[in-house]
Chains A and B, each alone.
Chain A
Amino acid sequence: MAFLDISSVRKVYGQNVVVQDFNLAVERGEFVSFLGPSGCGKTTTLRMVAGFEQPTAGTIRIGGKDVTYLPPNQRNIGMVFQAYALFPNMTVADNIGFGLKVAKKPAAEIGPRVKEMLELIKLPHLADRYPYQLSGGQQQRVALARAIANKPQVLLLDEPLSALDAKIRVSLREEIRTLQKALGITTIFVTHDQEEALSMSDRIVVMSEGRMEQVGDPFDIYNYPKTRFVAGFVGTLNTLKARVLDPGAGKLSIDGQEAVTSRPLNGSPADSIRTVALRPEAVALGERVNGGNGLSGTIEEVGFLGSVVRIKVRLGENAISLDTFNSSSVTPPKRGDTVSIAFTRDDLLVLEDNDAH
């Protein structure tokens, strides 16, 4: 059995279903991210794990023990809040030692542990400062140290980086990940930033409107999104409407041009319409290479994004955006030019058509 086990959890506020059918098994030492747009229920799920909210239905187990209705202060969980939430009346050291103190640990144990934590977050010189004397990044590191000082079974982080500026965000996320690996602490990390989720996680849970859309490692989530929602939310995917020509051979028609996918079409009958997807970086300008796909269309837009040039090619009803590297030796095509584009059979993804929501 998994270390942290969330099964069939559902949360309803009044008429409003906020989380439903939530099933997740997190292994010991695993780093799992909840990724999704604002209001999709990430925080609510996390708060149920923490014990601040109680599920309307379902159970939560930690280390085999049912904690669904256990109050937060008996769960031995560490949590880092978006707004730091350091106690303003305590120094950095007192904040970090708070969990040990309320657990009535002897001072001889608290002191060294606090020191160790301060070393870990590289702020030993700030032990006697008050929170208001720290920068946001420092405060959040102290909050992290406070959360792990008592060796919690599970560490929960609710958008811990979103109040910080971009540079600190990147360095701190690496620090968090390194620390987490070193301590082997089971972690759930909530974010709406796909880059954060992709770069830090062992696994990602993509959520939408209270549901789990897809669970997988970052590579899978990015390269093989199962639903249109995931495809759209993670990265900037081209989604195209295609007519199935030969389900067995994976043959499709995109605006009258033939393309082949190596992905199963899941028994869609001929002539049915499916949504397929292409990553911009999987598409190249030029003729098809053998065994691949080739389409032709007209350039609709050329946009410079610094090192990358993003080109939008109109096929008919559908359009495909593709990225090429900006290089002074290559002149990019102009609007109105007719071009050929190419991509492999593997890169043509077939999405599940549950677009009901």
Chain B
Amino acid sequence: MVENVSAATMDDHAAAASRKRLPLSWLGVVPFFAFALLFLIWPTLDLMIGAFQTPTGEFTLQNIANLNQDSIISAYKISIQVSVASAVLGAVFGFFLAHAAVMGNLPGWMRPTLTTFSGVASNFAGVPLAFAFIATLGRTGLVTTLLYSFFGINLYSTGFNILSFWGLTITYLYFQIPLMVLILMPALDGLKKEWREAAAILGATKVQFWTHVAFPVLWPSLLGATMLLFANAFGAIATAYALTGSSLNIVPILLYAQIRGDVLHDPNLGYALALGMIVITALSNITYIWLRARSDRWLR
């Protein structure tokens, strides 16, 4: 707040003192806006418009209607399922890890170690991650073989498959959990020790402290982080593609195949697919903003 006020007065002051500096300020941001427009906003908008056009450029709703095919519907369904599962599980496990590191009274070296490792793991996505999980839970992976030789459990006869929904979810968790940890640790730091003590001395149990104070305070960050995780998983393709080739039917892989021209030679259907992805990630964010605005009354 204070920062904003001083910056604002400074802004006025600068404007009054030297008008000539104003164009220079614009010069500093114009490249940024131009770049964002050319390489982020316009291409996206253009796709969204394309979803409502025929190849010759006339308006149509046919592309959207064409999404109503079993393979596409099921791709959206699986994509949403994997993203929700990996976001929610990532949020839950990430919360427990971050909570343990911040408030668990653990030895001092553990927290920085977790932070560093989370930085690495949250960026260890894509193709190599798929390789790692094939080596772990694939048919000849280490865990699969060890489970069989030590406990006689044949993982693959239980119906598990690394190329399946759960396989993909477990793999995604490898970058989802650390991302959650990184986002939540500062939020947990923001929970003041005095709140916990004030609650305790007022007779609240631990559970009551969490339900009445800690979760309501953390709720916006938790929710925001979960939405971010959702978008993160929903748009991810490299891991799934390297893991399953095009055998797992999720939207980004479908779109990828579509762009490569492997499947349907109808680019406008591709635009509709992309529009669907944008709508879903945008919806998740709007939900977040809406929920947050409701819980935000007490925030500055």
Contacts and interface: CB of A to CB of B under 8 A. Distances in A.
A–B contact, 8 Å CB criterion (strictly below): yes
Interface of A: 50-52, 71-79, 81, 83, 85-90, 98-99, 101-103, 130-132, 143, 146-147, 150
Contacts of B73: none
A98 B200 contact: no
- For the residues of B in contact with A, the DSSP-based class is helix
- Most chain A beta-carbon neighbours within 10 Å: one of B195, B198, B202, B205: B202
A98 B198 CA distance: 10
Contacts of A77: 201
B192 interface: yes
Interface of B: 192, 194-195, 197-205, 208, 212-213, 216-217, 297-300
B194 A83 contact: yes
26 contacts: A50-B201, A52-B197, A52-B200, A71-B200, A73-B200, A73-B203, A74-B203, A81-B194, A81-B197, A85-B192, A85-B194, A86-B198, A88-B217, A89-B213, A89-B217, A98-B212, A99-B202, A99-B204, A102-B199, A102-B202, A102-B204, A130-B298, A132-B299, A146-B202, A147-B201, A150-B202
Contacts of B299: 88, 132
Contacts of A72: 197, 200-201
A71 B196 CA distance: 13
Given A83-B194, A86-B198, A98-B212, 12 more contacts: A51-B201, A72-B197, A73-B200, A76-B203, A85-B197, A90-B212, A98-B204, A99-B203, A102-B199, A102-B208, A131-B298, A132-B300
A101 B192 CA distance: 21
A73 B298 contact: no
Contacts of B298: 88-90, 130-132
A81 B198 CA distance: 8
Contacts of A150: 202-203
- Most chain B beta-carbon neighbours within 10 Å: one of A89, A90, A130: A89
A78 B198 contact: no
B201 A75 contact: yes
A150 B204 CA distance: 12
A37 B202 CA distance: 29
A81 B213 CA distance: 17
By Cβ-Cβ distance, the 7 closest A-B pairs, closest first, are: A85-B194, A99-B202, A89-B216, A102-B204, A130-B298, A72-B200, A85-B198
A130 B199 CA distance: 17
A202 B202 CA distance: 26
A83 to B, nearest CB: 6
A75 B217 CA distance: 26
Contacts of A73: 199-205
Nearest to A132: B300
Nearest to B295: A89
A95 to B, nearest CB: 9
Nearest to B216: A89
B200 A87 contact: no
A64 B260 CA distance: 82
- Most chain A beta-carbon neighbours within 10 Å: one of B205, B298, B300: B298
B300 A79 contact: no
Nearest to B205: A73
Contacts of A81: 194, 197-198
A87 B201 contact: no
Contact of B203 (A87, A89, A102, A130): A102
Contacts of B200: 51-52, 71-73
Contacts of B194: 81, 83, 85
A87 B204 contact: no
A306 B170 CA distance: 76
B211 to A, nearest CB: 10
- Most chain B beta-carbon neighbours within 10 Å: one of A71, A86, A102, A143: A102
A97 B197 CA distance: 16
Contacts of B205: 73, 102
B195 A102 contact: no
Nearest to A87: B213
A81 B217 CA distance: 20
Contacts of B199: 73, 87, 98, 102
A102 B210 CA distance: 12
Contacts of B192: 83, 85
B194 to A, nearest CB: 3
A268 B188 CA distance: 61
Nearest to A47: B197
Contacts of A75: 201
Given A88-B217, A89-B217, A130-B297, A103 B203 contact: yes
Contacts of A88: 217, 298-299
- Most chain A beta-carbon neighbours within 10 Å: one of B198, B213, B298: B198
Contact of B195 (A71, A78, A85, A132): A85
A51 B203 CA distance: 12
- Most chain B beta-carbon neighbours within 10 Å: one of A74, A78, A81, A131: A81
A87 B201 CA distance: 13
A79 B201 CA distance: 7
A47 B108 CA distance: 24
Nearest to A74: B203
Contacts of B198: 79, 81, 85-87, 143, 146
A101 B202 CA distance: 10
Nearest to B193: A85
Contacts of A78: 201-202
B209 to A, nearest CB: 9
Nearest to B206: A73
Nearest to B219: A89
Contacts of A131: 298
A102 B205 CA distance: 8
A150 B198 CA distance: 13
Contacts of A51: 200-201
A128 to B, nearest CB: 10
A86 B197 CA distance: 11
A52 B202 CA distance: 13
